[in-house]
Structure 1
């Protein structure tokens, strides 16, 4: 019932269109029901009269029927066009709601779910919802109206024959309900299997360069072939079930006509039914049977649309883990003093990635985090903008717990350049402007200059209007990195997080970018994650983090003189040592 209520709620913005559609449906049904009655009247009262009466009446009857069918034409046009438009609008609303909810879901959701499957719910699962939203109420309403109307009129002609008809109809209804429950599971399985096909396709195409570099096209083909065959098997099961379903209902429809012919012949022989009444009865049988067939076909349509909508509601009912508190306040007038108080964090039920970490970063200072991969450096920085919430402890900015702040104001105050740079499909200008949507062209160009990418952009034929391609495929790694840095220059936040921000740059570019980053970092709180230690020599404090927590902290000179982990790491990079990794165990 909760799913049904949610589905009905999407009709609310279009209730005028919905009721107009239903009104037209009533008129169409009335015209269909009126035709046999008009024919019955003409057969009984006009066609039995003389030539003059027939000729004087038939013209008026023709005009009446013409008017009725012209009315039906306009009503049918409205139902078919605007009824479907209403369904398409509802589908668009559902798709927008789902997209908005995807935007609200926390990183933890994306850690556990495949992008291709999420896209399938957004696109494929809603295809049949348009038909269900339009034809659902209309088919039920028209069919019930026609069945009830024709059934009453059939009773008026012959009660005994109509009760026999009702008995066969009851068997059809029971059969349809039983098959309906069985089809529900099959159509839901169809949705799951096509989502797996989309997931396999998305994964293969996103990594096509890796696939080709390893000459593993056949491996990816086999993976896709398996998901494709699973979907085919699921569709085959559904079509077999549909085939049996429609074949049995076709048989039941035939039984209706057999019952009418046999019973009609018997009643004519008994003298309780006239031949003309049987003809009219058969006309009403057509009106009676047609909506039955519509309802039977609608059962399949309903299960397809319902299974798609059910998968949509499964997502909409998933609550984001990171949300604003009811009394959350905006973060304003940011100084940038950050403090991690006894912070611990784990992903799901795994072991702690961070345990009892305490760091105080004064406003405007530049702090560098170094250490082996897996030590928790990136995780620590992901906690600051609340991509994840701490398992224990707290994080404050200017003395305010970040969980008491609105997410929008918190994340607006933090600029991030990540190691894995993402470029949106669009122009260079649009990608830089992502840092500040209302930025002027001059501001965008200034940001590019600060990131040492302006001259390169101007050398392109279309300059800032150059398309970068999907995920920035037309740019080198260093160029994408500098565009990402330009975004942050444009955003101009009081707090910076630089996660390997210069990792993809050559030495010359790194030198220019480092100067730009130092300029950007001035009077701003900056957290730098770095493996290339040349970028952090001038940091106010360097913190060495391993999987056992903070092991060393101090300035570059202080840590070099301690001859510990940082010193060992530094000498590996700048003195040509070929040891694979520092022996961290000796410092534990």
Structure 2
């Protein structure tokens, strides 16, 4: 018994039964939701097995009746055959329809649940994942789980039952011959189980390769302007061809695995047929079997051997679905930052004072982006954050929006710790305008309405006017209903930025976060955007990450950040008087701007 138990454990470990169980448990709630559909599928499955056995009985008795010239029995059997043919057709229709319905419902629910989960994952997850890879898991991987919830899953149950039913029927015809045929099945079943494991591993590699392919395509289409400007078309195509070649190699490997298995299964089936036929002919010749018995036996033996060989094949396909499901499970294993999807909550009575006390934060757990960071931001004031690149300015903005949580220290809004606020409450208090704004595929109005989803077109117009955007919007072909393309590709940088400001105005949040919102614009466009920002900043607590120091002269407070800490703070005049880091940065920029202006004047004179 000890040896048998060890072999059982090793075999179970080899086939990775425990690993298969984990992703299948993920599916259980979704399958259980449609238990009635699956119940009727199982009823149809048993009915189908009965129909198969009936047709074997029909063939057996029809042959014997024909040989015995029993016309009356032939007529009766023909009537039964017609009725059961109609019955079988009805079963086939409902089985196909219900199976497709079950698969579509479970797959749709799983997609919804996965996207719902993704929307609640922390910013750290998105920072570590490629968008193409995430799309692949939501589309390709979920679509490929069909084998685990549809035909393959049902076949894993149906085929063994079919084999048992066929064996019982064949044993009644000739027990010795039935036992002889069934001995060939386990060999094929074991070999198929081994191939199933190999197919699962190959399937996982295929799904990983598809994820990389989706990521590459996403980058290629989104970055087409860079590809063309640097004439990278040929190199990009060669990379695509290489990725596709690796995927092709994996598909060929899968084809070889299936081919070897199918060859073995076919050989087992053919061997069973010839053994039954040869031995059966012997029994017919010595009178221990009728011709009808032999015909029934030869017809039904495939349902004895095929379920054992086919089960292994179905197990291989089932394993490939499990490989896709494992990738989906990996996403579900990520811990979300909220239980429910955050939704905008109108705020009232929020003054907008912010205090950061002893903040320490690290993205990777090793290098601190912020360390012993202390800053008080009075309500309704404009506070500018300046400092070298990588000093921690944008990190602070992300912390204030709750994208990340500090490892040490506390952030307070109006004296209330952020840890006591929900993500929805915190983010409803802030409006964010980044340097490179993201516009969604849709209309101008759709993008402005992101600031307040239940807003009217009249409110869009009011916000756009305050953002200095109304004039260019109405000049577009369809005004506020003009389609702007993916990421607003049909608009200029300044136009996109003013739409972003308009949706921030529409949100009407008490705290405004500006992350270098004008640094990428030309002087004329910057003036228009800056004018819009000044309207937006009125009566709001505003935190500005500044790139051009000339734009923050009038800030109520300037905090100089370096190496994750506030090293200086005060007004522009006070900081210039201290002659510290701010003064050095300001004079460097001032001299650079004067030099650039001088070169421009000289060029104008020479052209004149």
TM-score, scaled relative to structure 1: 0.92
Please point out which of 35, 43, 46 is paired with 2:55.
35
> In the alignment, which residue of structure 2 is the partner of 1:585?
none
> In the alignment, which residue of structure 2 is the partner of 1:583?
none
Give SS of 1:501's match: coil
Give SS of 2:294's match: helix
Matched, 1:295 2:314: no
Matched, 1:536 2:552: yes
* Residues 477-532 of structure 1: CA deviation (Å, up to 9, x unaligned): 11111111111011111111011122244434433433332332222211011112
* Aligned counterparts of 1:402 and 1:362: Cα–Cα separation in 2: 16
> In the alignment, which residue of structure 2 is the partner of 1:462?
478
> In the alignment, which residue of structure 2 is the partner of 1:154?
170
Q: Point out where structure 1 has 5 or more consecutive residues left out of the alignment.
A: 581-588
The offset of 1:317, in angstroms, is 0.9
Give SS of 1:94's match: helix
> In the alignment, which residue of structure 1 is the partner of 2:377?
361
Give SS of 2:144's match: helix
Q: Assess if the C-alpha contact under 8 Å between 2:374 and 2:565 holds in 1.
A: no
Give SS of 1:423's match: coil
Give SS of 1:544's match: strand
> In the alignment, which residue of structure 2 is the partner of 1:551?
567
* Aligned counterparts of 2:60 and 2:240: Cα–Cα separation in 1: 62
**Within 5 Å, which residues of 2 pair with 1:53-92?**
54=71, 56-92=72-108
**Within 5 Å, which residues of 2 pair with 1:118-517?**
118-292=134-308, 294-320=310-336, 322-323=337-338, 333-517=349-533
> In the alignment, which residue of structure 2 is the partner of 1:19?
39
Give SS of 1:83's match: helix
* Aligned counterparts of 1:285 and 1:37: Cα–Cα separation in 2: 13
Matched, 1:117 2:133: yes
The offset of 1:362, in angstroms, is 1.4
* Residues 221-280 of structure 1: CA deviation (Å, up to 9, x unaligned): 232232222212222222111111111111111111122122223333444333332112
Give SS of 1:434's match: helix
* Residues 73-98 of structure 1: CA deviation (Å, up to 9, x unaligned): 12211221231121022111112222
Does 94-103 or 302-311 show the bigger shift?
A: 94-103
**In angstroms, what is the RMSD of aligned CA positions?**
2.2
Q: Point out where structure 2 has 5 or more consecutive residues left out of the alignment.
A: 1-20, 597-608
Give SS of 1:561's match: helix
The offset of 1:462, in angstroms, is 0.8
* Residues 535-577 of structure 1: CA deviation (Å, up to 9, x unaligned): 3222110111122622221112222233332233333334446
* Aligned counterparts of 1:15 and 1:449: Cα–Cα separation in 2: 56
Matched length: 571
> In the alignment, which residue of structure 1 is the partner of 2:119?
103
Give SS of 1:10's match: helix
* Aligned counterparts of 1:96 and 1:577: Cα–Cα separation in 2: 52
* Aligned counterparts of 1:111 and 1:364: Cα–Cα separation in 2: 32
* Aligned counterparts of 2:301 and 2:164: Cα–Cα separation in 1: 12
Give SS of 1:415's match: strand
Give SS of 1:336's match: coil
* Aligned counterparts of 1:544 and 1:128: Cα–Cα separation in 2: 53
Q: Assess if the C-alpha contact under 8 Å between 1:572 and 1:578 holds in 2.
A: no
The offset of 1:428, in angstroms, is 0.7
Q: Assess if the C-alpha contact under 8 Å between 2:156 and 2:315 holds in 1.
A: no
Give SS of 1:339's match: strand
Give SS of 1:460's match: coil
The offset of 1:130, in angstroms, is 2.3
CA 1:265/1:578 → structure 2, altered by over 3 Å: closer, same or farther? farther
CA 1:548/1:484 → structure 2, altered by over 3 Å: closer, same or farther? closer
